[in-house]
Amino acid sequence: MSISFKTVSAVLAGICLTSVAFQAEAQDRLRDASKGLFLVGTALPTRAFSDLITTDIVSQDFNRLTCENEMKFDATEPSEGNFRFEQGDTLVNFAEKYGMEVHGHTFLWHSQTPQWVFQNPNDGRPLRDVVLQRLENHIRALMTHWKGKIKTWDVCNECFEDNGSPRGFSPWRQAIGDDYMEQAFRIAAKVADELGEKDVLLAYNDFNMYKPGKVQAVVKMVNDFKAKGVRIDAIGMQAHWQSNDDPSIETIEAAFKAYAATGCKIIISEMDVNTRNGFRNSGRGLERDDSVQGNADSSADALAKRYGELFDLFVKYHKDIYAVTVWGLDDGTSWLRGGAPLLFSSTDPKTNERGITPKPCYYSVLESLKKGQAALKK
Ligand code: XIL
């Protein structure tokens, strides 16, 4: 009798963690079911890669990965010119081993960026030039280190308010000026060209990307860039949403139409669907909001219905959508504590022991993908 590596690792995982990773044939996993539609991804912290149950599931269900924090500015360049790539490498190496694509997140963001980036060296150069040079050094270092290994990059993250005006708090905008996003995209495109990275997709990424004010502002920016010859290839919708009808399918669909009309690919980049009433899943985490009612709360079936409807919509727009990434694997490790927003629970409801277990919403997503795939074959 021959014993496969997978069997051994599942057995080992069972011994080490008193539970066995979820088992199902390839055709009943998200990775296979999504082929021909779009890539399916998840976001993980470095520690996830030392957990055999997590890695076993991730390698079978997903074909795309994002570092939850490890490629952000503070993690990769904590002080000027001092680059740290080890944690990102852990994810990139895993992705390579299992034939997955990697999403790079993110170059320019107001958050998780060290203070030194914006400090004035007072050496006679205008602060704008200094900060642009630092941004260029940063982008060049990361794109060079991960040349050929990262397919999509978030060049700018969260730069608009919901009503479409420029984000109020942005040290980048303050230091560089109103054209800071354009400059960031120009730099990323220049470096990509220098490195011969023709197929890399350069993206703008944000939350609440369904809100009409934001849709208008992003479409305007993209069209403006294109008119000026500034490369932008993809629009990332974070998709931190609610399990009730907020945002509605119609609202999301209207945003898809508007984004697709720019010629950019759409990336659903950070999906999680909050089930907790009285809390809003905003781009800043779960925030108290008494008006949020009608969520699924602990009703796994309502969440399954919502995930199914959302994926049916993604399938409908599969030609425009490059990838769908859920922001984490299991509820217990999600950044939205108490929101139970993901496709897997962290404990097995049957035994109450630790064991990453697919929730009903996992199966509704699987069904939606399978239906979509079957329609492609007709
Ligand atoms: C979150 C991570 O999940 C947390 O671990 C971290 O503490 C804060 O950032 N929008 C983004 C992501 O673009 O980078 C954020 O990730 C979630 C909101």
3 occurs within a structural domain: no
Question: Does 257 score more than 70 pLDDT?
Answer: yes
Closest among 328, 331, 349, 347 to 47, alpha carbons compared: 328
DSSP character for 5?
H
**pTM score:** 0.94
Bridge partners (DSSP) of residue 40 are 324
pLDDT of residue 265: 98
Q: Ligand 1 centre and the CA of 6: distance in Å?
A: 32
> If pLDDT is split at 50, 70 and 90, which confidence band does 19 have?
low
Mutate to test the pocket of ligand 1, among 73, 106, 327 (most ligand atoms within 8 A of CB): 327
Domain membership flag for residue 10: no
> What is the mean pLDDT of the segment spanning 355-373?
97
Q: Which residue's CA is minimally distant from atom 9 of ligand 1?
A: 69
Round the CA-based radius of gyration of the chain to a whole number and report it.
Answer: 21
Non-local (6+) Cβ contacts of 62 within 8 A are 30, 31, 40, 41, 42, 100
| List of residues 6+ apart from 106 with CB closer than 8 A | 71, 72, 73, 153, 154, 155, 156, 157, 205
User: Contact 107/139 with Cβ under 8 angstroms?
Assistant: yes
CA distance 157 to 110: 8
SS3 190: helix
* Cα(58) to centroid(ligand 1), Å: 19
Q: Check residue 349 and give its pLDDT.
A: 83
Ligand 1 touching residue 243 (CB < 6 A)? no
**What is the structure's pLDDT at 282?**
86
Q: Determine the pLDDT at residue 207.
A: 98
Token output for 155: 């060049």
Separation of CA 283 and ligand 1 centre (Å)? 8
- Alpha carbons 26 and 20: distance in angstroms, whole number: 17
Please indicate, yes or no, if residue 288 is contained in any of the structural domains: yes
- 353 or 30: which leads in pLDDT: 30
Examine residue 321 and state whether it is found in any structural domain, yes or no: yes
Best mean pLDDT range from 200-204, 288-292, 335-339 = 200-204
Give percent of the chain above pLDDT 70: 94
Q: Which atom, in ligand 1's list, is nearest to the CA of 240? A: 18
pLDDT tens digits along 152-190: 999 999 999 999 999 988 999 999 999 999 999 999 999
Choice among 158, 194, 253, 367 that is catalytic: 158
Q: Where are the alpha helices (DSSP H) in the chain?
A: 5-17, 30-33, 52-61, 73-76, 86-97, 127-145, 171-176, 180-194, 212-228, 249-260, 300-316, 360-377
CA distance 280 to 179: 32
Atom number of ligand 1 nearest to Cα 334 = 3
Where in the sequence is the domain holding 88, given as residue range(s)? Answer: 18-377
**In this structure, is residue 12 part of a structural domain?**
no
Which pLDDT score, from 0 to 100, does residue 128 have?
98
Secondary structure of residue 374 in the 3-state scheme: helix
Beta bridge partners of 265: 234
In a domain, 2, yes or no: no
User: Domain for residue 214, yes or no?
Assistant: yes
Amino acid 233 reads D
Q: Is the CB of 283 under 6 A from ligand 1?
A: yes
| Cβ 157 vs Cβ 206: under 8 Å | yes
Q: Please check the confidence at residue 14 and state whether its pLDDT lies above 90.
A: no
In tens, the pLDDT along 277-331 reads 999 998 889 999 999 888 876 578 899 999 999 999 999 999 999 999 999 999 9
Q: What is the mean pLDDT of residues 64-78?
A: 98
Rounded distance from Cα 125 to ligand 1 centre (Å): 33
Beta partners for residue 168, in sequence order: none
Alpha carbons 198 and 219: distance in angstroms, whole number: 23
How many domains is the chain partitioned into structurally?
A: 1
Q: What percent of the chain has pLDDT over 90?
A: 87
270 is an active site residue: yes
State the pLDDT at residue 298.
58
The pLDDT confidence band at residue 271, using thresholds 50, 70 and 90, is: very high
Looking at residue 97, its pLDDT comes to: 98
Residue labelled with tokens 């050929």: 148
Distance 104 CA to ligand 1 centre (A): 13
Question: Of the candidates 102, 106, 108, 94, which has an alpha carbon nearest to the alpha carbon of residue 69?
Answer: 106
Confidence of residue 352 (pLDDT cuts 50, 70, 90): confident
Q: What is the mean pLDDT of residues 36-50?
A: 98
- The CATH number of the domain where 343 resides is what? 3.20.20.80
Do the domain assignments include residue 39?
yes
Give the pLDDT mean for 33-50: 98
The response to whether residue 282 sits with its C-beta less than 6 Å from ligand 1 reads: no
Residue 157 CB less than 6 A away from ligand 1: yes
pLDDT in tens, 44-66: 999 999 999 999 999 999 999 99
